[in-house]
Chains A and B, each alone.
Chain A
Amino acid sequence: MSYLSTLSSAYAEIFLLVMASSILIVDLFITDPNKTLTYILVQLTLLSCALITVTTHEPGVVHLFNNMFVDDLMSDVLKLLSYLAVSMVLVYSRSYLILRGLFTGEFMVLTLFALLGMMVMISATHFITLYIGLELLSLSLYAMVALQRDSATATEAAMKYFILGALASGLLLYGMSMLYGATGTLAVAAVSDAITHGVENKALLVFGLVFMVAGLAFKLGAVPFHMWVPDVYHGAPTAVTMLIGSAPKLAVFAFVMRILVDGLQPLVMHWSGMLAILAVLSMAIGNITAIAQTNLKRMLAYSTIAHMGFLLLGVLSGGIDGYSSAMFYVVIYVLMSLGGFGMIMLLSREGFEADMLNDFKGLNQRSPWLAFMMLILMFSMAGVPPTAGFYAKLSVLQAVVGAGHIPLAVMAVLFSLIGAFYYLRIVKLMYFDSPETHVKISIQPDNGLLISINGLAILALGIMPSTLITVCAIAVQKSLMLH
C-alpha cells in the first residue's frame, strides 16, 4: 500500500487545501466583477469535499499522522454539516456582498481556509493539531471581519476580535503547556491515560484545566468570556457574521468534545462544575441582555450566548445522552442561525442594512411568506414546538434531568422563558405592527428558495426529528472514548 493511500481519511482536507490555493491563483485572472466563475468553483469544491468525505468513510475509528488526526463517524457527520453550512453562507451572502463590492476572491478563499481550519479542529486528536486548526479558522475570520476596510465599526470589531481571540488562544496554549508539564504528552488519548494512572502534580493539572476551560469558553462565547460576541456580530458585515455564527460552532463543539471528553474525562468532576457556572451565567446574561437590544444582529449575538449556555448543559450532563443532545443542539442551532442572518441579508438592499428590529415591522404585509419563515425561526429559537428548536431543548433537558441536575433544568427553562420574550417581539413586529416602508422586497430566486428550504427544514425537523437525533447518538457513541 502506497503512502498516499494510507492518507485516504484526510483526502478531503488535502483536496480542500489544494483547491483553495488554486482558486486563489485562478481568481487573479477573472475579470468579471461578480466573480461568478470563482463562486461556481468554490461551490463545486464544497460538493466534491462532501463526496470525498462520504466515499472515504470507513466504519470504526481511523487514526492518522501518529495519532494527531482521527477519522470517525462524528467527524464525518460534522464535516458534512460544515460543508453544507458554508455552502449556504455563500448562497445567502452572494448578492448581499456583490451590492457592497465585497464579493471578492479573497472572501471566498478565506472562507475555504476557515473551513479547512474547522475540519482540522473536528478531526484533531492532538493538542498541536487542535491548536493549528483553531488558529487557521480564527485568523481567516479576523481577516474577513476586517474585509470592509472603509467601515469604522467593522475595523473596530476586527480589532476586538483579534485581540480577544489572541488572548483566548494564549490561555489555551498556556493550559496545554501546563497539561504537558503534568502529563508529559500532548496527545489527547495519552493525556487521558496519564491522568487516569495518577499524576504527581495535581495542582498543575487543575490549573491547566482552568486555563483550557477559559480558552474554550472564550471561543464559544460563554459568559463571562462573551464580551467580544456582540461587538463582532454587530460590526462585521452580515455575511461574515453569518459565517462566524454558523459552521464554526460545529467545530468548536468537536473541539470541546475532543479536549474535555476524550482528553480530560478523568477530571470530569472538576470541569462539569465550571461548565455549570458558565452555562447558567450565559443563559442568564445572554437572555436578559438580549431584551434590551434594538439591533437584530446584537440581539442574535446575545441569543447565541444563551444558546451556547444551553449547549454546555448538554456537555456537562455527560454520557451518550448528554453529548449527543449537545451535538443535536448545535446542529439545530447552526440551522436556525443561518436562517436568522440569512433573513437580515434578504431584507437588506443597496445602501441599506435591515439589521434593526424596526426594519421587521409589518413584514407580514410586505411579504407574508418571509414573515412566516421568520416566525418559524423565532419560535424555533424560543424552543416552541412543533419546531426543531423544541427538540433540541428537549433532548438537552432530558440529559440534564437524567443526570439528576433538576435545579439546573428548572433554571434553563426559566431563562428560556425570558428568551421567549424577545423572540416573540420579532413576531409581534412582523405581524402586529404596520410597516415603516413599502419598498418592494426583491430577492434573488436562489436566496428565496434557500430561505424557504431553511425554514421548512426547521419545521420538518420539528415534526420528524427522529433520524437526526439517532444519527447524533450513533456518531457520539461510535466516536468518543466513553469510560
Chain B
Amino acid sequence: MIFGFPLLSVAIWLPIIFGLLVLATGNDRNAPLARVIALVGSILGFLVTIPLYVDFDKMTSAMQFVELRDWVTHFNIHYHLGVDGISVLFVLLNSFFTPLVVIAGWKVIEKRVAQYLAAFLIMSGLVNGVFVSLDAVLFYVFWEAMLIPMFIIIGVWGGTNRVYAAVKFFLYTFFGSVLMLIALLYLYIHSGGSFAILDYHQMAIPMTAQILVFIAFFMAFSVKVPMFPVHTWLPDAHVEAPTGGSVVLAAILLKVGAYGFIRFSMPIVPDASHHLAGVMIALSLIAVVYIGLVALVQTDMKKLVAYSSISHMGFVTLGFFIFNAYGMEGALLQMISHGFISGALFLCIGVLYDRMHTRNIADYGGVANKMPVFAAFFILFAMANVGLPGTSGFVGEFMVIMGTVKVNFWYAFTAATILVFGAAYTLWMVKRVIFGAVANQHVAQLTDITLREKLMFVILALTVLGMGLYPLPFTEIMHASVNDLLVHIARSKL
C-alpha cells in the first residue's frame, strides 16, 4: 500500500463503478457516451494497477499491498486482499485486456451497447477480485459472481447457438464451483473456524481428506482451465461468444482455473497433489496431443483457436505438476503469453468476422491480397501461437519442456508434439485463410484494418515480441514466490 492508498480495492472497484456508470447511460441513444465512459474507466483501471508492478518488492514471497478488514464477523470472513509475485501478473494481464476489449467492440456492437460494455467492466473488476482475494469466501464470491456477466455476454451478443452455449458454460462451471464450496467449508471446520487461505497453507490435513479436497478443487479448477475431459464447454462458448467475450474467456478466464491450482490445490493439499500428479500429467498430455489433433480437423476458425487454447493450457497444468522451478515458471509464462496470443488471435478472427460474417475457413482464401497489414499481424500472432523463438509463445513452452525432461524424457517427448501439431493446425489455417488467390467475391471486397484495429494489434504485437525477446521483467517478479511455493509443496502436511 502506498501512502495508505488501497490499490487492490481500487483495482477491483474502479472498473465496477465505471461499469455501473455505463449502465446508467441507459438505452442505445446514448451509446457514444457509454463507449467513452467505458474506455476511460478501462484505461483508468489499467493505470491504477501499474503501481502494483512498479512498487512491487521482488525480493519477498510474502503478500504485498495487503488489505484486511472484517466482513462477516459471525463466520470469521474477512475482506482480505493481497498479491504475491504470481497473482500480480494476472491482475495486470486482466486490466491490460479490458481497454482492448472495449476498443474491439467500439463499432461492432450496436445493440444494447451500455449493457455490453458494463458487463465487461464489471467482470474485469470481479476477475481482479479473484486474483487478489486471500479469504476463501471472498475468493468464492468473486469466482462465482464473474459467471453472471459472462453468461449474459455470451447469451445476448453471441452467435446463433448462443443460448445453448451460455447455459452450458454456466452449469459446467457452477457444477465445479459448488463442490469447491464444500471443500472450503470442510477446511473452515477443520481449521477451527478460519477462511484465510494462508492459514490453510500451514494446516496439517490427513491423507484421505487431502485426496477428497483435491478432487473437489480439481472439479472446480479443471472445468475452468479447462482440462480434458471437462473441456467440452469451451469450444461452444468460444464459438458463440462475441469477439470481446472470446478474448476475455481465452485471455483471462482460463487463467483463473490454473491460478486456482497454484493458490489452492497444490499448497493446501501437497501430499494429495504429489499422489495424484500422475493423473494430472496424464490428463495434461492427453489435452496436448489429443486436443491438438482435434484442432487440426476444425473447419471453424474460432473453434480451431479454442481447441488450440485447451491444448496450450494442457502445457500449463503439465508444468505445474512436475514440481520444479522450470516447469512452474514456464507454466506461468505460458499462461501470460497464451493470454496475449489467444486474445490477439480472437481479435483477428473478430476483424474478419465483422467484415464477412462467417468464421468458416472454407469461406476465406487470399485475404493477404486485400488486407496486407492485417495479414502481417495475423501471421505474427499465428507464429507466436506455434511457439516460434522470439515470440512470447516460445519462452513458456521451452521452459516447461526443459522442466519435464528432468522428470521423465517420455513426458517431455509427448509434450513436445505440441510444437508439431500446433504448427500444423495454425499454419494450415493461415495458409487457407491468408494466402493463395482471392477465393471469392466477398473476399475481393474486403478492406484493410482501420486505425482503431491497428492500435489494438500494435499494442499486442509489441507485447508478444517484447515478452519473447526479453522475458526477464516477467520472470524476476514471480521468482521469489515460485521458489517459496515449490519449497512449500515439497513439505508433507500429513
Question: Which A residues lie at the B interface, using CB under 8 A?
Answer: 364, 368, 375, 379, 384-386, 390-391, 394-395, 397-398, 401-402, 406, 409-410, 413-414, 416-417, 420-421, 424-425, 427-428, 431-432, 465-466, 469-470, 473
Q: Tell me whether B178 and A427 are in contact (CB under 8 A).
A: no
Q: Tell me whether A394 and B189 are in contact (CB under 8 A).
A: no
Note all chain B residues with C-beta closer than 8 A to A424: 151, 167, 170-171
16 chain-A/chain-B pairs, Cβ below 8 angstroms: A364-B115, A384-B148, A394-B137, A397-B182, A397-B185, A402-B185, A414-B178, A420-B170, A420-B171, A421-B167, A424-B171, A428-B163, A432-B155, A432-B162, A466-B71, A466-B73
Docked CA distance A188–B75 (Å): 31
A-facing residues in B130-187 (Cβ within 8 Å):
137, 140-142, 144-145, 147-148, 151-152, 155-156, 162-163, 166-167, 170-171, 174-175, 178-179, 181-182, 185-186
Q: Tell me whether B179 and A410 are in contact (CB under 8 A).
A: yes
Note all chain A residues with C-beta closer than 8 A to B297: none
Note all chain A residues with C-beta closer than 8 A to B166: 428, 432
B89-110 contact mask (Cβ, 8 Å, vs A): 1 or 0: 0000000000000000000000
Docked CA distance A376–B170 (Å): 16
Nearest chain B CB to A131's CB is how many angstroms away? 34
Residue from A375, A410, A432, A470 in contact with B163 in the complex, judged by beta carbons closer than 8 Å:
A432
Nearest chain B CB to A320's CB is how many angstroms away? 10
Residue from B140, B144, B155, B189 in contact with A428 in the complex, judged by beta carbons closer than 8 Å:
B155
Q: Tell me whether B178 and A413 are in contact (CB under 8 A).
A: yes
Note all chain B residues with C-beta closer than 8 A to A368: 26-27, 115
Q: Tell me whether A384 and B71 are in contact (CB under 8 A).
A: no
Residue from A391, A406, A420 in contact with B182 in the complex, judged by beta carbons closer than 8 Å:
A406
Shortest Cβ distance from A397 into B: residue: B185
Docked CA distance A427–B73 (Å): 33
Judge if B2 is at the interface, Cβ distance under 8 Å: no
Note all chain B residues with C-beta closer than 8 A to A425: 167
Q: Tell me whether A398 and B151 are in contact (CB under 8 A).
A: no
Residue from B71, B74, B145, B148 in contact with A473 in the complex, judged by beta carbons closer than 8 Å:
B74
Q: Tell me whether B73 and A432 are in contact (CB under 8 A).
A: no
Q: Tell me whether A431 and B185 are in contact (CB under 8 A).
A: no
Q: Tell me whether A465 and B189 are in contact (CB under 8 A).
A: no
Note all chain A residues with C-beta closer than 8 A to B261: none
Shortest Cβ distance from A384 into B: residue: B144
Docked CA distance A437–B343 (Å): 39
Note all chain B residues with C-beta closer than 8 A to A375: 148
Note all chain A residues with C-beta closer than 8 A to B218: none
Nearest chain B CB to A400's CB is how many angstroms away? 8
Note all chain A residues with C-beta closer than 8 A to B137: 394
Judge if B188 is at the interface, Cβ distance under 8 Å: yes
Judge if B472 is at the interface, Cβ distance under 8 Å: no
Note all chain A residues with C-beta closer than 8 A to B451: none
Q: Tell me whether B175 and A390 are in contact (CB under 8 A).
A: no
Nearest chain B CB to A43's CB is how many angstroms away? 32
Q: How many B residues are at the interface, by size bracket?
A: 35 or more
Question: Which B residues lie at the A interface, using CB under 8 A?
Answer: 26-27, 70-75, 112, 115, 137, 140-142, 144-145, 147-148, 151-152, 155-156, 162-163, 166-167, 170-171, 174-175, 178-179, 181-182, 185-186, 188-189
Residue from B75, B178, B182 in contact with A469 in the complex, judged by beta carbons closer than 8 Å:
B75
Q: Tell me whether B182 and A413 are in contact (CB under 8 A).
A: yes
Nearest chain B CB to A153's CB is how many angstroms away? 32
Docked CA distance A386–B133 (Å): 15
Nearest chain B CB to A383's CB is how many angstroms away? 8
Note all chain A residues with C-beta closer than 8 A to B72: 391, 465-466, 469
Note all chain B residues with C-beta closer than 8 A to A409: 182, 185
Residue from B140, B174, B189 in contact with A420 in the complex, judged by beta carbons closer than 8 Å:
B174
Nearest chain B CB to A333's CB is how many angstroms away? 19
Docked CA distance A425–B170 (Å): 11
Residue from B26, B141, B175, B188 in contact with A417 in the complex, judged by beta carbons closer than 8 Å:
B175
Nearest chain A CB to B303's CB is how many angstroms away? 22
Q: Tell me whether B189 and A401 are in contact (CB under 8 A).
A: yes
Q: Tell me whether B181 and A394 are in contact (CB under 8 A).
A: yes
Q: Rank and list the top 10 A-B pairs by shortest CB-CB distance, nearest first.
A: A413-B178, A385-B141, A401-B185, A432-B155, A466-B72, A469-B74, A385-B144, A402-B189, A386-B145, A470-B74
Shortest Cβ distance from A409 into B: residue: B182
Shortest Cβ distance from A395 into B: residue: B75
Nearest chain A CB to B127's CB is how many angstroms away? 14
Nearest chain A CB to B459's CB is how many angstroms away? 32
Q: Tell me whether B147 and A384 are in contact (CB under 8 A).
A: yes
Docked CA distance A173–B269 (Å): 53
Docked CA distance A416–B175 (Å): 9
Docked CA distance A413–B27 (Å): 38
Q: Tell me whether B141 and A386 are in contact (CB under 8 A).
A: yes
Docked CA distance A221–B395 (Å): 61
Note all chain B residues with C-beta closer than 8 A to A427: 151-152
Shortest Cβ distance from B137 into A: residue: A394
Q: Tell me whether A390 and B71 are in contact (CB under 8 A).
A: no
Note all chain A residues with C-beta closer than 8 A to B186: 401, 406
Shortest Cβ distance from B180 into A: residue: A413
Q: Tell me whether B179 and A431 are in contact (CB under 8 A).
A: no
Q: Tell me whether A398 and B170 are in contact (CB under 8 A).
A: no
Docked CA distance A99–B144 (Å): 41
Docked CA distance A188–B112 (Å): 59
Note all chain B residues with C-beta closer than 8 A to A397: 181-182, 185
* 10 extra A-B contacts, CB within 8 A, seeds A384-B145, A417-B171, A421-B167: A398-B75, A401-B186, A401-B189, A402-B185, A402-B189, A420-B171, A421-B171, A425-B167, A432-B156, A470-B74
Nearest chain B CB to A251's CB is how many angstroms away? 24
Note all chain A residues with C-beta closer than 8 A to B167: 421, 424-425, 428
Docked CA distance A105–B269 (Å): 64
Nearest chain A CB to B285's CB is how many angstroms away? 30
Nearest chain B CB to A304's CB is how many angstroms away? 21
Note all chain B residues with C-beta closer than 8 A to A466: 70-74
Note all chain A residues with C-beta closer than 8 A to B140: 385
Nearest chain B CB to A171's CB is how many angstroms away? 35
Docked CA distance A414–B181 (Å): 11
Docked CA distance A469–B75 (Å): 9
Note all chain B residues with C-beta closer than 8 A to A469: 72, 74-75
Shortest Cβ distance from A429 into B: residue: B163
Note all chain B residues with C-beta closer than 8 A to A401: 182, 185-186, 188-189
Docked CA distance A413–B152 (Å): 23
Docked CA distance A375–B167 (Å): 15
Docked CA distance A364–B155 (Å): 13
Docked CA distance A384–B143 (Å): 10
> Do A416 and B182 form a contact, CB below 8 Å, given A386-B145, A431-B152, A473-B74?
no
Note all chain B residues with C-beta closer than 8 A to A364: 112, 115, 156
Q: Tell me whether B115 and A416 are in contact (CB under 8 A).
A: no
Q: Tell me whether B155 and A431 are in contact (CB under 8 A).
A: yes
Note all chain B residues with C-beta closer than 8 A to A391: 72
Docked CA distance A427–B75 (Å): 31
Shortest Cβ distance from A418 into B: residue: B171
Note all chain B residues with C-beta closer than 8 A to A473: 74
Shortest Cβ distance from A399 into B: residue: B185
Q: Tell me whether A413 and B163 are in contact (CB under 8 A).
A: no
Nearest chain B CB to A34's CB is how many angstroms away? 34
Note all chain B residues with C-beta closer than 8 A to A379: 148
Note all chain A residues with C-beta closer than 8 A to B174: 384, 417, 420
Docked CA distance A406–B212 (Å): 11
Note all chain A residues with C-beta closer than 8 A to B148: 375, 379, 384
Most B CB within 10 A of own CB, among A414, A431, A473: A431
Docked CA distance A424–B178 (Å): 16
Note all chain A residues with C-beta closer than 8 A to B141: 385-386, 390
Docked CA distance A427–B155 (Å): 10
Residue from B156, B178, B181 in contact with A431 in the complex, judged by beta carbons closer than 8 Å:
B156
Shortest Cβ distance from A432 into B: residue: B155
Docked CA distance A375–B147 (Å): 13
Docked CA distance A193–B156 (Å): 61
Docked CA distance A375–B145 (Å): 13
Q: Tell me whether A398 and B185 are in contact (CB under 8 A).
A: yes
